[in-house]
């Protein structure tokens, strides 16, 4: 199993309403990819809800294998979603690990 965790902050130019809308759009773009990539077990996009966090939004996903993660990363829907994500976020942090 492979866990893929990505954390971002939204760009400063976005208002609170725009951040909320951007988070909803990221969720709508990324979560359905689970149904299109063999070996994708779970994909969740979560907004920051606690003041102890230092990132605004997270992608937490689980894959059966490293190859499944690679297929997700190169899937056309993910590539297209990435264009939008990069337009509204900054400070990306990522950790992938096998367990």
Q: If the chain, 99 residues long, is cut into consecutive pieces of 10 residues, what is the mean pLDDT of each piece?
A: 98 96 98 97 93 95 98 98 98 97
pLDDT value at position 49?
Answer: 79
**What pLDDT is stored for residue 48 in this prediction?**
83
Q: DSSP labels for the chain?
A: -EEEEEEEEE-TTS-HHHHHHHHHHHHHHHGGGGGTSTTEEEEEEEE--STT-S-SEEEEEEESSHHHHHHHHHSHHHHHHHHHHHHHEEEEEEEEEE-
Containing structural domain, residue 16: 2-98
Query: How many domains are contained in the chain?
Result: 1
Residue 90, domain CATH: 3.30.70.100
């Amino acid at each position: 199993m492979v866990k893929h965790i990505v954390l971002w902050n939204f760009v400063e130019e976005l208002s609170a309403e725009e951040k909320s809308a951007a988070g909803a759009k990221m969720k709508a773009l990324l979560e359905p990819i689970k149904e299109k990539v063999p070996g994708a077990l779970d994909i969740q996009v979560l907004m920051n809800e606690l003041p102890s966090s230092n990132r605004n939004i997270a992608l937490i996903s689980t894959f059966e294998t490293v190859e499944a993660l690679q297929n997700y990363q190169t899937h056309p829907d993910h590539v297209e979603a990435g264009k939008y994500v990069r337009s509204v976020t900054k400070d990306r942090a990522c950790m992938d690990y096998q367990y």
